[in-house]
Structure formats: structure tokens, C-alpha cells
Amino acid sequence: MEISHRFVEARRVRHHIAETGDGFPIVCLHGWPEFWACWEPLMERLHSKHKLIAIDFRGFGESENPNPEPSDKANARCLADDVIALLDEIGLSRVGFVGHDVSALVMQEIARLRPELCEGLFFFNCVTPGIGSRWNVPEHLGEIWYQAFHQKPFAAEMVGQSEASCRTYIKYFLDHWSYKTGVFDQVIERWTENFMRPDNLQGGFNWYISQNAARLAAMAGEVPELPKIDTPTRVLWGRHDPIIKSDWSDCLDDTFSNVELTFAEEAGHFVHYEMPDLAAGEISRFFAN
């Protein structure tokens, strides 16, 4: 497998794209703490069937961070607008989307803004507004502490004091959110190097600053009623995800009118990295249909 890299400007931001394969195009959108490389196991397994396009969001990976200071300019709508403009720029008018975590909300925005662009939506552990106040029930508060910490003006400086502090911080989430420990051990230096790139820690933390108002509204049950998304949707949910809990899958029907759900019984948050054979097989089956 050969992966090519290029940079494309969209909405005055220089975005990094990693690509491989041929066939129907599938756009892969990452979460936090991730960047394009989290899709390499799927790229290895799917490049003979599909063209895989992994995009770094603004402020992540090798994409430009136009707001290197703490900023509220990187919410789900902003990132969705980036992706739409980027796909228009490279001439793709119909694609499949694969993503989770941050990109779950971004993909929902894309599906509402440009439904004709979406052949299908494939989610791992899908965040929806219907989760609501379950985010802040007492037994879950200990899991979401980082969402408040990332909004502190000193957070990126503190985490990025050294490679060691950055490695410790990022590794905690990679290990804690995975069902089995050690899944990312072989790439932790690569992940550390990525987040030690200038402005990358703040780039990721800006997502939490930007999305905070929407998150608080969802927790308070104040999200406006939105039309359901009609795009064919597939959700493969890691049974043991401690942060986006599999029990929350019961509200998927509030957001999607055509959704298929199954569970990855031996995975946590990072299904695509923890169980890439299962993930690749289900992606291939979904888009073949």
C-alpha cells in the first residue's frame, strides 16, 4: 500500500489529505486525540476496494491551525464547512463518510447541509444530541473532566511542557478509552510527535472551547428539534467505550431515520484501531449495499 499526501487550501485554511486506493471514495474523519494516521489500519485493508481519503481537521495533524490561541472558531459547523469546501475543491460530488468522536457531530452537520454529497454515513460510537443530560450524570462526571480542562487558557502549555508530559497525557486517553491496553503502544511516539507539532495541542483543545455551548445546551435538553437525517447510516459501537457509552445507542433513532446498529464486543472507543478487521469488513459491506 502506498499513501500519498497533499495539501489543499479551502476556506483560507491549508488542509492535509492522505490518500490511497482506487474505487468509490470514502472520506475518513478523525476524533481526538487523533489525526489522519488513525485510519492506517483501515487503509491497509480497504485500499484494494475503495479510494480512502483521510483528512486532518484544521488544527490537527499536518493541517494549518488558523487560530493558534484559545479560540471558539472550530465547532462542528465550522469543521463541516471545511470538509464540504475541501471536497468541492478536489472535485468530489458524492462520497461515503466514516468517522467517530469529533467527526460524528461534523458528519451530522454535513448530512444536513449537503445531503446530496453523502452516499452513506458510517459511525463508530456515534455522539448525538439525544444523549443529553446523560453526559453529566454523577457516575459519568469523572470521565468528562478533560472537556472542561481543555478550555483552560493554560491547558495546551501545561500538557506541552515536554515530550514526556505530552506522551503521558495522550497515552492516558488512548489506553483508558481502549478495551485492551497497549493497542497504541507501537505508535505512541508518533502520536506524541504529532501533538508536539506547533499549535497542535491548542488546535485540538479549540474543538472543546468551540463546541462547549452546544454541549451545555444538549446537557440541559435545550437542543432545537432537528429533522432526522435520511442518509443511510451504519453504526458499529464499541461495547466497552467508557466515554461514549454503548447504552446511549438507544437514542440513535431520534437523529437518523435509516440506521443499522451492531456492537463490537471486544472494543472500546477506538473500534477502527482496536478491531480493524471487523471494522473494515463492515465498512466494505455497508458501502457495497
Q: Which residues are catalytic?
A: 101, 208, 269
Q: How far is CA 89 from the centre of its chain?
A: 22
Q: What are phi and psi of 85, to 5 degrees?
A: -65, -35
Tell whether omega for the bond before 138 is within 30 degrees of 0, i.e. cis. no
Q: How far is CA 101 from the centre of its chain?
A: 4
Q: Hey, what's the cell of 210?
A: 468551540
As a 3-state breakdown, the chain gives helix, strand, coil percent values, each rounded to 5, of: 45, 20, 35
Half-sphere exposure (CA, 13 Å, Cβ side) for 249?
A: 20
Bridge partners (DSSP) of residue 103 are none
Residue 172 makes CB contacts below 8 A (sequence gap 6+) with none
User: Which contiguous run of DSSP H or E holds residue 27?
Assistant: strand 24-29
Q: Which of 39, 145, 36, 27 is nearest to 86 (CA)?
A: 27
